Amino acid sequence: MPTQATAGFPAINTFGGGNTGYLTGLNFSNSVACRMHLYDRLFHVGSISLTTLATTTLTSQPSFSSRVPGGTDYTSTEIWLEVNTAVSATATTVSVSYTNEAGVSGRSTGATASLSGYITGRLILMPLQAGDKGVQRIDSVTVGGTVASAGTVNVIVARPLVTSMRVPVAGAGDILGLDRTGMVQVWADSALWLIIAADSTSSGAPEILAEIADG
């Protein structure tokens, strides 16, 4: 389970005893026009190889209940695929079986469209089964379609924090106060994860400064 201590994630100062953290401000910009999304990356597993058509069943995965509100509210958590090694020009697909926010297992995202030619770093948001609002656990990952000669993916569960960061033109940005961050709750061990949805093919050079109130 990734935390702020995991390589690649920004450090968060320790909160005072028993205090709660709230995201109260964001200052952001990017060198390309895009939309920027800030998440808490709760869980990831990988790399899952696409060079074999098989189901990988997960066991003994850690709970991320300590990073959702009240320890029980999994609402709005999402499943993402992250291409870790570029996929060959083959019609390979991936589906994920999971336990939903209410603790019901055996739920499925269904299979992706073909991942042919997807490059390293590309992200795919996986749809939850109809009626589901979140994810408690990833149970298995199935590689289907046409076997790839190259390609791996990570499977991620993440909780959206702020998804309203729009950069309308290259080099622009904005400052969001607590009225626009919603003072969403974060934890001292949250793994803050930035996703870039670029208007073009480049993710640019994003910059972000987050203010977290400790109270």
Long-range contacts of 9-16 (CB under 8 A, 24+ apart): 9/41, 9/191, 9/192, 9/193, 10/192, 10/210, 12/186, 12/187, 12/188, 12/189, 12/190, 12/192, 12/212, 13/188, 13/212, 13/214, 14/188, 15/188, 15/214, 16/214
- HSE at residue 14, side-chain half, CA atoms within 13 A, is 3
From first to last of its 215 residues, the chain has per-residue pLDDT tens of 999 999 999 999 888 887 889 999 999 999 999 999 999 999 999 999 999 999 999 998 999 999 999 999 999 999 999 999 999 999 999 999 999 999 999 999 999 999 999 999 999 999 999 999 999 999 999 999 999 999 999 999 999 999 989 999 999 999 999 999 999 999 999 999 999 999 998 999 999 999 999 87
Query: pTM of the predicted model, to two decimals?
Result: 0.95
Give the H or E element holding residue 97: strand 92-100
